[in-house]
Structure 1
Amino acid sequence: MNTVDRRRWLSGAAASLLLPAAARARGTPMYDYLFLDLDAVPAGPALTARLKAEAAAIAAGGGEVLGAFTSQLGWHARQAAILLRWSGATSARESVVAALGGQRDRLTPTARPGASDRPRPGGIYVHRWFVIDTPALDEFVALSTEGWKDFEARFDTNIFGLFTAAQTEADLKAGQTRLLLLTRYGDHGVWETSRDPSTAAMAAFMRRQKLTRDTWAASTLLAPPP
């Protein structure tokens, strides 16, 4: 296993986290992740109908639907998720989120995505949540970005985003931070193959795992635009 300079990790992570904060002051994008239980099987048609109904309000409020995701593995067939991006503070944001419904997490990007990035079509999208000790955040992000270099070069994968979720009262009390990692894989076979423990990517991810209190994942399909 290669020796990695911990100070380099931390300085790189600090830069990646400070940049979004500075950009937010200039009106950088904000994100909402909505997890929905649509009570309809399959979820796709109901999800499309809900997005169509709110399309005008989303656009008028400076928002865009970055992704609508339906279940493959790990969610019920009636469950789905929506990722929204807003181009700054807007009064429409709250009313749109309320109309779309679901369990909401306000997200802040870390090293990714960039302000204009969009999910690539095709393949599968794995939604992986992590729970970590809040003081470990900088190191967690640094280890992630270190591993992505080899990971994306070696496999048919793309890291769309690694976000922190706004802390709840329970998070604050427990001293923890939740993160959402959105990764595109060519297919489920690539997802399995990418777990090869001998790669440089996995060496970084295994060290990241030591910082993790809990984690869970589901694979999804990116639905076509409504």
Structure 2
Amino acid sequence: MDKNKEAINLMNEQKYEEAAALFSEIIEESPEDPVGFINFGNLLLHVNDYTRAQRFFEKAIELDEFAATAYYGLGNMYYEQSLYPKAQESFQKAIDLGLLEADVYYMLGMTFYKQEHYKLALPYLLRATELDSEDAEMLFQYGLTLAQSDHLKDARSVFENVLKLDEKHSDAHYNLGVIALYDEDLVGALSHFNTALEIQPEHTLAENAKNQVEALLNNTDL
């Protein structure tokens, strides 16, 4: 097996020390190859060593200014530290350099979402779902952003598609319940809140919403 693949497998198995030793070997053997630095940077990111991770990603960019995955790594590093404008710049640079994968568009969209620039997030999250239509979490975040942008009809359709991918997605049920409230469909809303609580009994938002809807329904019955 290729050493990089072996080290990545070790990292995915959370054998971080073994992976680090192997990445060090790779860098020693090929000090001009940015891939080893990028992979080691990703490992450091996994263990929340942001300072060293940044150094490794920046070293990779020194070796190859067109190393798109190094910019993607930097974007993730900034995102994890809630430095969203810097993350945004790095993800955009990765895309500009040709890294046109769902994860990059998703993360770029999320940098806008975290800054409450919902309408700016929409095209990137939409593109992510187009590139990976089977990822329920990407689709959910797209639906959430549609809802935050007051596109409730479109959001409802997206949340329904989330449930086709993951019928136990409690947050999709909760948000469908909220949209049902906007449509003044108390019974439909209650059904979604109940389902969310069956899936996730500690879902506080669904519990609160359920109690409010039941109170409204009881008052209506009177």
- Which bin holds the TM-score, normalised by the shorter protein? under 0.3
Structure of greater Rg: 2
Q: In proportion to residue count, which structure has more helix?
A: 2
Give the number of the structure whose residues are more often strand, by fraction.
1
